[in-house]
Amino acid sequence: MGENLKWLWAAFGIGWALHVLYVFLLASRQKSLRNEMRQLRAQLEERDHDGGEPLLG
């Protein structure tokens, strides 16, 4: 039983670790998207303060 128990622990351990890893991946993607969005909003606000002059080019 002891010999086989390690396979059971490994299956549940790795399986749930993959879930946790995915949650961290989602959180990290969300954080990076929000940061990028903040930067874009700042660019737009900057353009509004400059009286509508083009930002790019």
Partner 1 sequence: MRSQADPYASDAVPPWLALITGAMVVAMLYLTFVWVPMEASMGVVQRIFYFHVPSAFVAFTAFTIGGVASIRFLARRESRFDDLSVSANEVGLLFAIVNLVTGSLWAKPIWGVWWAWDARLTTMLLLALIYVAYLILRQSVVEPTQRAVVCAVVSIFGMVDIPIVYMANQWWRTQHPAPVLSGEGSLDPRMRFVLYFSFAALLFVFWCLVRMRRRIEHIRRDMDALRREVHAL
List contacts with partner 1 (CB under 8 A): 1, 3-5, 7-8, 10-12, 14-15, 18-19, 22-23, 26, 29-30, 33-34, 36-37, 40-41, 43-44, 47, 54-56
Residue 47 or 49: which CB sits closer to partner 1?
47
Residue 49 or 56: which CB sits closer to partner 1?
56
- 3-state secondary structure at position 55: coil
| Residue partners of 54: CB distance under 8 A and separation at least 6 | 47
**Cα-flanking dihedrals φ and ψ of residue 56, to 5°?**
-110, 155
